[in-house]
Amino acid sequence: MTSTTAPTDAMPMGRRLLRRLPHLALILAIVAVLLLAAGPLGWRAGWWHYSIGFFYLMAWSAYCGLAAVAVAIIALVFGRRINAGRQIAIGVIAFVIGAAIAYVPWHWNNLRGAYPRVNDVTTDFDNPPSLAFAEAMRKAEHGHPVAYDGAKAAPQKKSYPDIAPAMLTLPPDQAFDRALATAKATGWTIIQSDPETGTIDADDRSRWFGFTDDIAIRVSPAGGGSRVDIRSGARLGGGDYGVNAARVRTYLAALRGS
């Protein structure tokens, strides 16, 4: 007796394609995750320059994430009647992952125009605290020189006019102790501190790419109290997305107790 049931191989090409789309979307989403993760991992491991990860791998992760979203939408909209619950779940997961990954490059790209290209922020333009302690490390990383670039004063004044020295009513020795305690509370790595010269040197690393910013604090007498200046500068990159300004603001606010 001849069976009238059509074999699976006889399923129309369009239906077979729709059943495979959720898996294709998931593969694209996984590739997007790997590309986004490869950027900072490769930079930290010394496989490539940070620009490869930041400007190329991140961009391709966004393209793959958007492709995953598009394929998942097609699978969920046009294949909802023929796909089983498991395939629908895979499509939803692929959509969520793809959208989340695509958001990251989109977010960072939008931030580019929101901040000035200032990567070295200080409270004293005429005599900035010295970053000489980081000179060897900057040379090893082919980073920026430790000398302050006076051309960055004007854009800082325009974009961050509120950043100014902290004037404390404490004598210099007590102000230094307070400045050091505040620096330690931030979680920065304290490189060295010298109460005799009133200087504190530290650095801070970003969580994602591991970029290092160098920080110098100087406490000096001022009238009957003390003046605390701070400088925070990136070792690499032309812009910092406002990171150094935010760091200086946060430190000064904590130091002033506000």
Please report, for the domain that includes residue 164, its CATH number.
3.30.530.50
Same domain membership, residue 244 and residue 148: yes
Same domain membership, residue 125 and residue 64: no
Same domain membership, residue 248 and residue 133: yes
Instruction: Identify the pLDDT of residue 79.
Output: 66
> How far apart are the two ends of the chain, measured CA to CA in Å?
89
Same domain membership, residue 227 and residue 128: yes
With a cut of 50, list the residues of the chain below it in pLDDT.
1-8, 10
Same domain membership, residue 155 and residue 98: no
Same domain membership, residue 210 and residue 169: yes
Instruction: Identify the pLDDT of residue 80.
Output: 64
Residue 13: closest CA among 82, 91, 84, 93: 82
Q: Which two tokens stand for residue 15?
A: 């239906």
Same domain membership, residue 88 and residue 61: yes
The residue out of 89, 114, 139 marking a domain boundary is 114
The residue out of 80, 114, 148 marking a domain boundary is 114
Same domain membership, residue 142 and residue 231: yes
Instruction: Identify the pLDDT of residue 97.
Output: 95
CA–CA separation, 55 and 67 (whole Å)? 19
Q: Which two tokens stand for residue 151?
A: 């051309």
Same domain membership, residue 86 and residue 159: no
Structural domain including 25 reads 13-114
Same domain membership, residue 251 and residue 136: yes
| 92-96, Cβ contacts within 8 angstroms, sequence gap of 24 or more | 93/26, 93/29, 94/22, 94/25, 94/26, 94/28, 94/29, 94/68, 94/69, 95/25, 95/68, 95/69
Contact 21, 79 (CB under 8 A): yes
Instruction: Identify the pLDDT of residue 239.
Output: 75
Instruction: Identify the pLDDT of residue 82.
Output: 64
- Show the DSSP H helices in the chain as ranges: 13-45, 50-51, 58-78, 85-111, 135-140, 153-159, 172-185, 243-256
The residue out of 82, 114, 146 marking a domain boundary is 114
Say if 244 falls within a structural domain. yes
What is the CB neighbour count within 10 angstroms for residue 257? Answer: 9
pLDDT, one tens digit per residue, over 125-182 is: 999 999 999 999 999 988 899 999 998 899 999 999 999 999 999 999 999 999 999 9
Q: Please give the backbone phi and psi of residue 12, each rounded to the nearest 5 degrees, phi first.
A: -55, 145
Instruction: Identify the pLDDT of residue 5.
Output: 44
Same domain membership, residue 234 and residue 106: no
Say if 137 falls within a structural domain. yes
Say if 2 falls within a structural domain. no
CA–CA separation, 169 and 221 (whole Å)? 10
Same domain membership, residue 134 and residue 211: yes
**Structure pTM?**
0.77
Say if 40 falls within a structural domain. yes
Say if 19 falls within a structural domain. yes
Residues 152, 155, 157, 161, CA torsion sign: negative
Say if 5 falls within a structural domain. no
**Contacting residues for 59 by C-beta, under 8 A, at least 6 apart:** 105
Structural domains of the chain, count = 2
Say if 133 falls within a structural domain. yes
Say if 201 falls within a structural domain. yes
Contact 72, 32 (CB under 8 A): no
Instruction: Identify the pLDDT of residue 71.
Output: 93
What is the CB neighbour count within 10 angstroms for residue 141? Answer: 13
